[in-house]
């Protein structure tokens, strides 16, 4: 399925449900007291992105939007259909006929019998 990806971040954020929460893991008191982690849920596609690397909620939101764009582009990328690589039956027959003709030419090159 193809998803339209808006050019600016504000329009992309309007399509998303944004949740902020406290990041878990290392970082000490600054991590435990600020809601800096961001979870974006892109509602049309259902893709969920979580960013909690930075201390700043704004930076995490930017990182999450960048990840969401790349994920949507990956979903939109369609694999091209394979092209047939097997030669047609007529092409095979032409090639074999050409080989037979070449073989006949070579047979005619031999020296005549001495009788």
Phi and psi for 6 in degrees, rounded to 5?
-65, 155
Reading the block at residue 78, the tokens are 């369609």
10 Å Cβ neighbour count for 48? Answer: 15
Give the chain's domains with CATH numbers: 9-76 (3.30.160.20)
Q: Which helix (H) or strand (E) holds 18?
A: strand 16-21
Strand partners, 21: 37
pLDDT digit string, tens, across residues 64-115: 999 999 999 999 888 888 887 899 999 999 999 999 999 999 988 877 777 6
Instruction: pLDDT band for 23, please (50, 70, 90 cuts).
Output: confident
The backbone torsions φ and ψ at residue 48, rounded to the nearest 5 degrees and listed phi first, read -115, 130
pLDDT of residue 16: 94
Structure confidence at residue 36 (pLDDT): 87
Residues 47-52 have a mean pLDDT of: 94
């Amino acid at each position: 399925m193809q998803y339209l990806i808006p050019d600016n971040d504000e329009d992309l954020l309007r399509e998303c449900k944004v949740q902020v929460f406290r990041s878990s893991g290392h970082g000490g008191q600054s991590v435990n007291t600020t809601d800096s982690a961001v979870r974006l849920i892109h509602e049309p596609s259902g893709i969920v992105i979580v960013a909690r690397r930075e201390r700043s909620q704004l930076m995490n939101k930017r990182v999450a939007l960048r990840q969401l764009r790349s994920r949507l582009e990956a979903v939109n990328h369609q694999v091209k259909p394979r092209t047939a690589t097997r030669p047609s039956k007529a092409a095979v027959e032409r090639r074999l006929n050409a080989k037979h003709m070449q073989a006949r030419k070579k047979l005619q090159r031999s020296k005549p019998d001495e009788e």
